[in-house]
Amino acid sequence: MMRRRLAYLCLETPHEGQGASTHVREIVRGLLASGWQVELFATGCGGASAGTWYLARVVDYVRVQWALYRALRRFDAIYVRAHFAALPLALVARRRAVPVFQEVNGSPADLGVTYRWLRPFLGALTWSYRVQLRHASHVFAVTSGLVEWVCRTVRHTRVTLVSNAADTELFHPDGPVAPIGGRYVIFVGGLVAWHGIATMLAATHSPRWPRDVRLVVVGDGIERARVEAAAQDGSTVLWLGRRSYEEVPELLRGAVAALCVIDDPDGRSATGVAPLKLFEALACGLPVIASDLPFQADIVRSHGLGIVVPAGSSVALASAVATLATRPEDARAMGRRGAAYARAHASWSARAGETCSIMARTLDGTDSRRARARGEMKEGIGNRE
């Protein structure tokens, strides 16, 4: 049986150590393991922390899509990490009858939060998403709220929830611990506007924050200057910058808890959040402190995996850190439940299996329809003769 040939288009530059890079790598790895032939077409510049001239990003969008356009006949389908700038390729693929699968990790509102100068153009950007998702052969969304948003936006039900996950072979409770020393809670991720950076830093100044617990921040982004300023004396805040993917489990294992305190600026998180950092922390046996946003809060509450706090509340965050720091047995029990949950429900291999199954069924159906159409065409020609 011939292996399916898939082009993976990613216009959100996958920088090492950031969520997009991890997601892309794990999905590709899972597809390859399932027998697909996959070729990645990704931009090389861009991102909230890249400091790249915007015109250079546009040129990169064009370059990558042109390369895929020239190679289009080699592929049975295209998998797109949903992006407003992918519209040209999506339209060409539709014209060529090449199935397109879209992966939705957020709504267009995210752009207005990260790049405030884009807000006047959100209507046009939303239209671009809508056109692409409407004509997609199938859509994969990472939260149930995004599934509902897609269904409302495009008015079809070719949408499936396939959430984020963790590499449970790399992220697990047993293994070396980073030699940071002392007690600490940890945040791992992009230093962007909605990740609660300001809330975390403010919490360290609260009287409720335990003085013997440090905040360790791993990552980079547009909020970097704020974190660097807070970490100048190193007494309460320690910034480690970007670290390789392989280093993160060691950093997590030594922590009291992991922070997933995403904010909700302008309602951008109303469709729910499913951050990689949540699943990776759980897989390492770490309790999580999560902001009260759909999906992540539901998982934490329903399985007893940590503490849920109001989004943007530095006082509540400080209190939660104090609770876990003073109740180590409770924290360890939460961590054990988290590791069990990740093994059973949140591995990348399971996510890749779900994705592959849906894409294969979709392509099998497409092939059957094409075969029927060819048969009907030949029959019509025969009748005319």
Q: pLDDT digit string (tens) for 319-335?
A: 999 999 999 999 999 99
Sequence letter at residue 35: G
Domain 183-345: CATH architecture, name and number where available: 3-Layer(aba) Sandwich (3.40)
pLDDT attached to residue 385: 53
pLDDT attached to residue 234: 74
Residue ranges of the chain whose pLDDT lies below 50: 1, 48-50, 373-374, 376-378, 381, 384
pLDDT attached to residue 190: 87
Q: pLDDT digit string (tens) for 258-271?
A: 999 999 876 667 78
Helix, strand, coil percentages, rounded to 5, for the chain = 50, 15, 35
pLDDT attached to residue 49: 46
Residues 336 and 83: their CA atoms lie apart, in Å, by 37
pLDDT attached to residue 1: 45
Q: Return the number of other C-beta atoms located less than 10 Å from residue 229's C-beta.
A: 11
Q: Return the number of other C-beta atoms located less than 10 Å from residue 110's C-beta.
A: 18
Residues 47 and 49: their CA atoms lie apart, in Å, by 5
Largest CA distance in the chain: 89
CATH 3.40.50.2000 domain locations along the chain: 5-165+347-380, 183-345
CATH class name, domain 5-165+347-380: alpha beta
User: For residue 227, with 0-12 CB atoms within 10 Å meaning exposed, 13-18 middle and 19 or more buried, which class applies?
Assistant: buried
pLDDT attached to residue 376: 47
Number of residues that this document lists for the chain: 385
